[in-house]
Structures are given as C-alpha cells and as structure tokens.
C-alpha cells in the first residue's frame, strides 16, 4: 500500500521538536538503525520503504519480520522519502518510532559501574558521538542534564546509528542533586575540564564512577561543578584551545575500560 | 570606515568553495580565531568588526596591533556580519584570511615523529575535531587524502577554533604512494579499522609513526589499506556499530602521547 498524503504530512510534522514531544515519536532513517530497533524493546508504528526493496531478496526477511509483528509497511517514492528524511542521500527507508523514556529510578545503581553525565551539550553531533562511545565502551547509563540537545533531534538520531537503543539514557536530569545522590550510593564523581588539577590517567580508580562532561562553550556549569568529587583534565601537549567534548569523553572511556579490563586480569 | 557594498559582496562570495579556491582566501569568525591568526604566519587581508568593539578597551590592543600591521579594519553592522558569517550568533568580528598551503616537501620528516593521515573524511565536524586533537596532542603533520572535506569549509574552520594555524596540514595527498614513501623513511604505518587484528594498546611502539583514519561510511579505502603495515582496532565492549572517526583518532593519539611520555620518563 502506498504512503497516503496524510501519512506523509504526519511523518514530515515529526521534523518539528514540539510535534515529536507531543506525539512521543520520532523518525528513524536507514536499514541499519531499523534493525537495531527490531532488536530492542522500542516500538515502531510504521515503516515507509522505496518499492525497489520490496522485491529485493536481501530485505525479504526483515520485511516479513515487520509484517509478522503487525507493523504496517508502506511504499514511498524517492521524493516522499527525501521530504521526510531531509538527508541528501535518502537510504530508501524511514520508520516512525516511539520514543523510549528511560527512568532514573529504573537504573540498577547497585549493579551499575560506569555512568556518563552530560551537562548542556547542545551540538547533536557531539552528543551523538558521546552516545556511540558510551555504547562502544559499555557504559551502564547516560544522564542528560538541562540544556542538552533533544535526544530525538534528527541529526543526533542519525549520528548514533542505533546506539540510542542499546543504552539507558535519561533526559532532563537535575544533575546537581542526582550527582550528589550517586555520590551517596558509592559512586566517585569526576568532572572533566581543561583547568582540572588531576591528570585523568592518574585519577584513583573506583569500582563505581560517574564521568561528567560539560558544554562546548562553557564547560561544566558552576552548580554541577559543586557536586563533583574532583575536576580532572586531559593533559595538553600542543597549542589547541580545547578538545572536542565528544573526543574528550571517548578518551576517558577508552582509558577507563582498559584499566578495568587490566584489573580483571590481575 | 564602514564596510562597503562591494566588500560585503566579496566577503559573502567566500562562502562558496569555488570562490575560496580561486581567491585562495576564506572567512574566519570570532575573536579567538583572529588572535590565533595574528600569532601565526598566516596573512589577513581585512577585518570587519561591529562598532561596539571599536571603543571597548578590552579590544584596543588587538585593534591597534591590526592597524600597526596595516590590516584594514572596517565597521560592519550586525546584519552585515550575519550575512557574512552565516552563524546564528555572530561573534562581532570576521576576517578575510589568506589560505595557507602547507607542502609535503617542507615537512621535516627526519625530525617528525607522529603524523596523522586522513582518508576521505567528508564531515567538517569530524575533520575539525581530528585537527583539534592533532594539535592538542602535538602531532607533527596532518595529511588529508582525496575525498576529504575542503580545509576551508566554514563549519570546519569554526570547529577547529584556530588549530588550523598551529599545525602543518597538507591537502590533496595521494595517500597510497605517500604512505609508502613514509614507510621507506622509517615510519611505521598503522591503519585503524573495526576489523583490525591488533589491539591499539598492544601495537608495538615505534619512534616514527603514521596513523591512518578512514571515511565515516566506508573506513580506509582498499588502495590505502594496501599501503599500511598493519590494521589496528580499538576493542569494542558494547554493541555500538562503530566509533565516530574523530573520537577514534582522539583515543589513539591520547594513548600514543601517554606512551611516549612514559618512555621519556624511563
């Protein structure tokens, strides 16, 4: 069945943040991300696909999986897909997906060991790469404080290539009080900043740790800084003014994971 | 003196890649980046500044420095600056800057120890963060292969916050032959890929090393892969499909720098 005008209009309306938030849905692009949703507990409402895939044997299994779950699959032409996806290279498929809403209360803090907290990171590419790195290095949960870009921003969703569905991500977190709460639960809380006194490689390891990263322009806010145990830095050897926040997060998580693996081995 | 209509038109024309390439100039935004240019050998043609800064004592030294170097400083209103800068938050100043053209021949290979090579990274934010990390960790030179985004792309220039002026960056490099040449000069050449056989932390250190990173979508091309000594990976602990290329580069450079410092210490 072809995508109707009303459905096209609805899909396009999801490019607006306020509609996404009212409907608690968002648009996903591409086959890879679609597979990730199928493997997660996140629900899909509808899939729109270019007819060239409907007869393609490479996609028949995925399409019949959608059918068996009762997810409507509609035919959409190139122009319609482009109108919905707003990317230059439409990947031939989009899906209307329900937003997941992870809850702070449901994160098992007794079992969690590494948590990443993000304070006001407004660039979707940066937050997207923080989510991918957190997934790659098996972080237990991501806490997004106020001022962060919306999790279902189209560029962010695209840049995470499905990692959103692999990891618990809590939005709108009141970081100052939540970090204090985590501290009382045995977490060490390290904030990262260029003016930190401790080198990240010399930070004392702790079984439970929260790593806090701040905004691109202003770093960690004063209120959040007051709730961390220590300010840690990545030492600079050249002349750059700062590291990209997504890169800083990746460096810290790579080192942390390597240290933990080493400890396991000994 | 006020920015004339002709000058405004000229500045705006530099938002086009073909004009930038013909004129060998580009637009720089913001005071921080402007200071970096003043501290480098790169030449400025003109500065356009909002009149509120002309009487501001915080900027008087910088403005008289421009004057003493004979760089024309023009007054531009908010609207003109926005038309040139194309950013939402115009920072009150733009400059017309000559492109620098670093040459492969002028990189002192006998003294260089760490070089980063980039194969077809097309996202300006990603290449920008690679440049910042390379600067931060004091890489000797950056080689940009074919298919990389243009170095003077506005988003890239903005995202590097001046690092472009701190490090030798060679564009349009024929990576396959140049990597072979570097190999013959005593460099080990490591390519990074998710399917690498060697863990980056277990790679044998060498005094001279080139690290090669590939495109977001396809990784390192087949031709370039044929010119590397080994394919190295960053081990994955979670379910993410891949790491962001800028993040991967940062992780590798942070580890490399730490190893080298440790060796110095012993």
Write out chain B residues lying below 8 Å of A137, CB-based. Answer: 237-238
SS3 assignment, position B197: coil
Per DSSP, B218 falls in state: T
Write out chain B residues lying below 8 Å of A246, CB-based. Answer: 129, 244, 246-247
The answer to whether B109 contacts chain A (CB < 8 Å) is no
> Which of B123, B125, B257 minimises the CB distance to A237?
B257
The answer to whether B104 contacts chain A (CB < 8 Å) is no
What's the CATH number where A246 sits? 3.40.1280.10
Task: Pick the more confident residue, A171 or B90.
Answer: A171
Cross-chain Cβ contact A250/B258 below 8 Å:
no
pLDDT in tens, A54-109: 989 999 999 999 999 999 999 999 999 988 986 655 578 999 999 998 999 888 88
Write out chain B residues lying below 8 Å of A139, CB-based. Answer: 238
Write out chain A residues lying below 8 Å of B199, CB-based. Answer: none
Which band of pLDDT confidence, cut at 50, 70 and 90, is reported for residue B220? very high
Residue B224 to residue B109: CA distance in whole angstroms: 20
Q: Are residues A120 and A77 in the same domain?
A: no
Per DSSP, A215 falls in state: B
To the nearest whole number, what is the mean pLDDT of chain A? 93
Sign of the Cα pseudo-torsion (A5, A6, A10, A11, in order) = negative
Write out chain A residues lying below 8 Å of B242, CB-based. Answer: 132, 136, 161
**How many CB atoms are closer than 10 A to CB A235?**
16
Output the pLDDT for position A158.
Answer: 87
Cross-chain Cβ contact A238/B125 below 8 Å:
no
- Closest CA–CA distance from residue B258 to any residue of chain A (Å): 9
Domain membership of residue B12 as a residue range: 5-98
pLDDT in tens, A238-259: 999 899 999 999 999 999 999 9
Q: Are residues B168 and B195 in the same domain?
A: yes
Output the pLDDT for position B216.
Answer: 86
pLDDT in tens, B225-243: 999 999 999 999 999 989 9
Which of A239, A242, A259 is the best substitution to test chain B (most B C-beta atoms within 10 A)? A239
Does residue B34 contact residue B82 with C-beta atoms inside 8 Å?
A: no
Q: Are residues A141 and A157 in the same domain?
A: yes
Sign of the Cα pseudo-torsion (A103, A106, A109, A113, in order) = negative
Task: List the Cα angle B242/A242/B28 in 5-degree steps.
Answer: 100
Cross-chain Cβ contact A238/B162 below 8 Å:
no
Residue B87 reports pLDDT greater than 70: no
Domain end call among A35, A69, A98: A98
Task: List the Cα angle B78/B84/B90 in 5-degree steps.
Answer: 45
Exposure pattern of A127-138 as b/e (b: 16+ CB <10 Å)? bbbbbbbbbbbb
Does residue B47 contact residue B66 with C-beta atoms inside 8 Å?
A: yes
Find the radius of gyration of the CA atoms of chain A. 20
Task: Among A50-59, A198-207, B78-87, name the one with the lowest average pLDDT.
Answer: B78-87
Q: Are residues B200 and B88 in the same domain?
A: no
Residue B179 to residue B185: CA distance in whole angstroms: 10
Write out chain B residues lying below 8 Å of A255, CB-based. Answer: 254-255
Output the pLDDT for position A113.
Answer: 92
How many separate domains does chain B show?
2
Domain end call among A76, A98, A120: A98
Q: Are residues A130 and A247 in the same domain?
A: yes
Write out chain B residues lying below 8 Å of A156, CB-based. Answer: none
> Which of B246, B255, B258 minimises the CB distance to A129?
B246
Chain B residue with the nearest C-alpha to that of A139: B238
Write out chain B residues lying below 8 Å of A248, CB-based. Answer: 250
Q: Are residues B46 and B108 in the same domain?
A: no
To the nearest whole number, what is the mean pLDDT of chain B? 93
Task: Among A211-225, A233-247, B5-19, B83-97, name the one with the lowest average pLDDT.
Answer: B83-97
**How many CB atoms are closer than 10 A to CB B182?**
24
The answer to whether A219 contacts chain B (CB < 8 Å) is no
Does residue B63 contact residue B73 with C-beta atoms inside 8 Å?
A: yes
Task: Pick the more confident residue, A253 or A110.
Answer: A253
Sign of the Cα pseudo-torsion (A172, A176, A182, A185, in order) = negative
What's the CATH number where A71 sits? 3.30.1330.30
Residues of chain B with pLDDT > 90, as a percent, come to: 77
> Which of B138, B237, B257 minimises the CB distance to A137?
B237
Task: List the Cα angle B94/B99/B101 in 5-degree steps.
Answer: 155
CA nearest B192: which of B122, B126, B113, B118?
A: B118
Tell me how far CA of residue B89 lies from CA of A121, A147, B20, B26, in angstroms: 17, 17, 23, 19
How confident is the model over A115-136, as a mean pLDDT?
96
- Closest CA–CA distance from residue A54 to any residue of chain B (Å): 24
Does residue B214 contact residue B192 with C-beta atoms inside 8 Å?
A: yes
pLDDT in tens, B15-73: 999 999 999 999 998 888 899 899 888 999 999 999 999 989 999 999 999 999 999 99
How confident is the model over A112-129, as a mean pLDDT?
95
Q: Which residue has the tokens 């003043």?
A: B38
- Looking at the DSSP bridge assignments, the partners of residue A230 are A190
Sign of the Cα pseudo-torsion (A6, A7, A9, A13, in order) = positive
In B68-200 the beta strands, taken as DSSP E runs, fall at 73-75, 93-98, 114-118, 141-145, 168-173, 188-192, 198-199
CA nearest B191: which of B230, B226, B161?
A: B230
Q: Can you spell out the DSSP letters for A219-247? A: BS-HHHHTT-SEEEEPPP-S--S---HHH
Q: Are residues B121 and B11 in the same domain?
A: no
How confident is the model over B128-148, as a mean pLDDT?
96
SS3 assignment, position A151: coil
The answer to whether A236 contacts chain B (CB < 8 Å) is yes
Q: Are residues A259 and A135 in the same domain?
A: yes
List CB contacts of A184: < 8 A, sequence separation 6 or more.
none
CA nearest B59: which of B38, B31, B33?
A: B31
Tell me the backbone φ, ψ of residue A205, rounded to 5 degrees: -70, 145
Domain end call among B79, B98, B117: B98
Q: Are residues A39 and A58 in the same domain?
A: yes
In chain A the beta strands, taken as DSSP E runs, fall at 25-29, 44-49, 73-75, 93-98, 114-118, 141-145, 168-173, 188-192, 198-199, 209-213, 230-233
Residue B263 reports pLDDT greater than 90: no
Output the pLDDT for position B142.
Answer: 97
Q: Are residues B142 and B69 in the same domain?
A: no
Which of B39, B160, B244 is the best substitution to test chain A (most A C-beta atoms within 10 A)? B244
How confident is the model over B178-201, as a mean pLDDT?
95
Write out chain A residues lying below 8 Å of B123, CB-based. Answer: 125
Which band of pLDDT confidence, cut at 50, 70 and 90, is reported for residue B88? low
Output the pLDDT for position A259.
Answer: 93
Per DSSP, B198 falls in state: E
Q: Are residues B112 and B234 in the same domain?
A: yes
Q: Which residue has the tokens 């390439």?
A: B21
Say how many CB pairs under 8 Å bridge A and B: 123
Cross-chain Cβ contact A238/B167 below 8 Å:
yes
Portion 165-204 of B in contact with A at CB < 8 A:
166-167, 201
Q: Are residues B118 and B36 in the same domain?
A: no
Write out chain A residues lying below 8 Å of B134, CB-based. Answer: 238
- Looking at the DSSP bridge assignments, the partners of residue B198 are B232
> Which of A241, A249, A257 minimises the CB distance to B162?
A241
């Amino acid at each position: 069945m072809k995508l109707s005008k009303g459905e096209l209009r609805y899909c396009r309306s999801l490019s607006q943040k306020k509609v996404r938030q009212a409907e608690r849905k968002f648009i996903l692009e591409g086959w890879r991300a679609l597979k990730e949703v199928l493997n997660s507990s996140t629900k899909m409402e509808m899939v729109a696909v270019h007819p060239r895939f409907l007869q393609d044997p490479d996609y028949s299994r995925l399409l019949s999986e959608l059918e068996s779950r009762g997810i409507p699959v509609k035919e959409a032409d190139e122009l319609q897909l482009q109108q919905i996806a707003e990317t230059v290279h439409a990947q031939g498929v989009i899906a209307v997906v329900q937003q997941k809403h992870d809850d702070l209360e449901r994160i098992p803090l007794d079992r969690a060991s590494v948590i990443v907290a993000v304070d006001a990171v407004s660039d979707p590419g940066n937050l997207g790469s923080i989510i991918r790195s957190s997934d790659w290095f098996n972080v237990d949960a991501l806490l997004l404080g106020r001022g962060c870009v919306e999790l279902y921003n189209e560029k962010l969703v695209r840049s995470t290539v499905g990692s959103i569905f692999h990891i618990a991500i809590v939005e709108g977190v009141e970081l100052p009080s939540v970090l204090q709460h985590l501290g009382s639960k045995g977490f060490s809380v390290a904030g990262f900043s260029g003016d930190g006194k401790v080198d990240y490689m010399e930070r004392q390891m702790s079984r439970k740790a929260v790593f806090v990263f701040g905004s691109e322009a202003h770093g960690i806010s004063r209120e959040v800084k007051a709730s961390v145990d220590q300010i840690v830095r990545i030492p600079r050897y050249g002349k750059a003014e700062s590291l990209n926040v997504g890169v800083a997060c990746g460096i810290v998580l790579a080192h942390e994971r390597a240290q933990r693996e080493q400890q396991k081995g000994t």
